[in-house]
Amino acid sequence: MPNSTSQPNRTEKAERLNKFLAFQLGVSRRQADDLIAKQKVYINNQPAQLGARIGESDTITINNHIVGGRSSYTYLMLNKPINYVCSRKQQGKTPTIYSLLPDKFHNLKPVGRLDANSSGLLLLTNDGDFAFRMTHPKFKKNKQYNVTLDKELAPLHQQIIADFGIQLNDGLSKLGLSRQSNQDRHNWIVSMSEGRNRQIRRTFAALGYTVIKLHRTHFGTYKLGTLGAGDYIVINP
pLDDT, tens only, 202-231: 999 999 999 999 999 999 999 999 999 999
**Contact 6/46 with Cβ under 8 angstroms?**
yes
Please determine, for residue 28, whether its predicted confidence score (pLDDT) is greater than 90: no
Dihedral class, residue 16 (left if φ above 0, else alpha if ψ from -120 to 50, else beta) = beta
Give me the phi and psi of 138, to 5 degrees please.
-65, -20
Residue 136 identity: H
Please determine, for residue 48, whether its predicted confidence score (pLDDT) is greater than 70: yes
pLDDT at 89: 84
Q: What is the mean pLDDT of residues 90-99?
A: 92
Q: Each residue of 126-168: pLDDT tens digit? A: 888 889 899 988 999 999 999 999 999 999 999 999 999 999 9
CA dihedral 192, 194, 198, 204 (to 10 degrees): -40
Q: What is the mean pLDDT of residues 78-93?
A: 92
How do 119-125 and 211-219 pair as beta strands? parallel
Q: How many CB atoms lie within 10 A of CB 97?
A: 23
Report percent pLDDT > 70 for the chain. 93
Closest alpha carbon to 145 in 228, 206, 221, 219: 219
Please determine, for residue 52, whether its predicted confidence score (pLDDT) is greater than 90: yes
Contacts of 165 (CB under 8 A, 6+ apart): 172, 173, 174
Q: Give ∠ CA 212-132-7 in degrees, rounded to 5.
A: 155
pLDDT at 195: 77
Please determine, for residue 11, whether its predicted confidence score (pLDDT) is greater than 60: no
pLDDT at 26: 75
Q: What is the mean pLDDT of residues 99-110?
A: 93
- Domains of the chain are 4-69 (3.10.290.10), 73-135+225-234 (3.30.70.580), 142-219 (3.30.70.1560)
Please determine, for residue 4, whether its predicted confidence score (pLDDT) is greater than 50: no
Q: What is the mean pLDDT of the chain?
A: 90
Q: Each residue of 57-77: pLDDT tens digit? A: 888 999 888 887 555 789 999
Contacts of 143 (CB under 8 A, 6+ apart): 112, 191, 192, 193, 195, 216, 218, 219, 220
3-state DSSP helix/strand/coil % of the chain, to nearest 5: 25, 30, 45
Determine which of 6-15, 50-59, 122-131 has the lowest per-residue pLDDT on average. Answer: 6-15
Active site residues: 115
Q: How far is CA 38 from CA 18, 29, 31, 64, 111, in A?
A: 13, 14, 11, 15, 29
Instruction: Give bridge partners of residue 211 from the DSSP assignment.
Output: 149
Confidence of residue 96 (pLDDT cuts 50, 70, 90): very high
**Contact 166/172 with Cβ under 8 angstroms?**
yes
Please determine, for residue 7, whether its predicted confidence score (pLDDT) is greater than 80: no
The distance of Cα 5 from the centroid of its chain, to the nearest Å, equals 33
